[in-house]
Structure 1
């Protein structure tokens, strides 16, 4: 069964023609904290060429630590974050875990923490396998 999800108002929907994410993790980078409005963003990394998105998507360009653009995707109607798309890794995209369909997100098993260099000090010691930046 492919992965699928949507924004809060359901104007943006997506499917990913894969059975499971490449990586499921907690992203502690400052930009993800701000986009999620929380202490981290749960991400499901998938091959970008397997993703199909429909609906009123808006993209905002920021800069990653690499100096390359990181495109933040969100619904232009309700503002729900959908994904972040790093130009430094054009073959993948990080879907926001909360946007996945309920039955799919219930089965997620986060196995990685990224950008722990930005992890807030009051967070649990280790949620998963930690990387100070992106895994190499």
Structure 2
């Protein structure tokens, strides 16, 4: 399926051809920290199927395994955009948060689930507050 997206400020934009059957959620500590959330959801897309407008900034994170991953983000607003192999990028793991069609891209698998926050499965029982954005909470 064709996906489009952008960073929060719109400086970096992209279009890509993504396979919804490859979407996953990662619960590892690195993903929690870099996303600022309890997990990170991504869709892996071959580099040749992505068109970027704008130039993201990146840095290389060396995992405990020794894998070198380039983490790409917008230099203006800081939005996390994707991660890829640091030395010879083949696949961009595009963060679903910056994908316009994210509601249609349900994860099909979870990785590092042993690191998942224990309260995630309880969220359905947490009451909603207001009809949308509540400035007292956001």
By percentage of residues, which structure has more helix? Answer: 2
What secondary structure sits across from 1:76 in the alignment?
A: coil
Bigger radius of gyration, 1 or 2? Answer: 2
Tell me if the contact between 2:18 and 2:43 (Cα under 8 Å) persists in the aligned partners.
no
Distance 1:89 1:117 in 2: 30
| Residue 43 (structure 2) pairs with residue 50 (structure 1) | no
Tell me if the contact between 2:18 and 2:45 (Cα under 8 Å) persists in the aligned partners.
no
TM-score (ref. length: structure 1):
0.79
The match for 2:93 is: 94
How many residue pairs match? The answer is 122
Distance 2:67 2:116 in 1: 22
Name the Cα RMSD after superposition: 2.2
The match for 2:61 is: 62
Gaps of 5+ in 2: 123-138
String of CA shifts for 1:46-85, please: whole Å, max 9, x gaps: 1122112121310011012430211110000000000111
Q: CA deviation at 1:87?
A: 4.6
TM-score (ref. length: structure 2):
0.78
